[in-house]
Structure 1
């Protein structure tokens, strides 16, 4: 994983796990690798992984089963809300950038539709 120096690593790990869940690489009820394994895989400190996982647990995205590890929640409503929150954040960032380019919302919709059509053809 390539980390951005301007964003805390634990936050980037949270975003990575969100992405893995939304893209269904991690599914509801699936066990996450052990903390030490995640640290080795992502080449970060164990404490950094622990901080990211602690926040995910407090959000309810992950649940801990004592002696067994951390699992993706089986609360489908929470996972749907997570997806909506992440997608909305992406759109918000894009919207703000496009507004600074003086692109109106109707133009944004047209550009997006054109882009989607172009990607379908490719």
Structure 2
């Protein structure tokens, strides 16, 4: 995993785990890899992994089961809220950047629609 020096590593690890849940690599009630395994896989300090996991537990995304590890919550409503929150966060970044370029919301919608259509076409041609 390549880390962005401008963003705390623990936060990027949280985002990575959330992404793995969203795309289905970790399903509800699945056990996620152990702290030490994640630290080795992502080549980061164990304490950094523990901080990321503690926040995910605190956020209700993961459930810690003493002696057994960390598991993805079975609360589908909470997982949908997490996904919506991540999408909204990404859209906020795009919106702010485009607003800085003096692009109107109407232009953004038009350009995004055009972009999506273009990408769909590219995917179909692959």
Shared fold (TM-score greater than 0.5)? yes
Give secondary structure in 2 for the equivalent of 1:54: helix
Runs of 4+ in 1 over 3 A off after TM superposition: none
Shift of 1:33: 0.5
State which drifts further: 16-25 or 99-108: 16-25
The alpha carbon displacement at 1:76 in A equals: 0.4
Residue in 2 that maps onto 1:87: 87
Q: Deviations over 1:48-99 (max 9, x none)?
A: 0001000100111000112111000000000000000000000000000000
Unaligned runs of 5+ in 2: none
Tell me the residue number matched to 1:113.
113
CA distance in 1, matches of 2:88, 2:109: 15
Q: Give 1:21-100 correspondences, 5 Å limit.
A: 21-100=21-100
Query: Structure 1, unaligned stretches of length 5 or more?
Result: none
| Structure 2 residue 20 is the aligned partner of structure 1 residue 20 | yes
How many angstroms apart in 2 are the aligned matches of 1:55 and 1:117? 37
Please give the secondary structure, in 1, of the residue aligned with 2:70.
Answer: strand
For the aligned residue pairs, the C-alpha RMSD in angstroms reads: 0.7
Question: What's the TM-score, normalizing by structure 2?
Answer: 0.94
Aligned residues: 122
TM-score normalised by L of structure 1: 0.98
SS class of match (2:31): coil
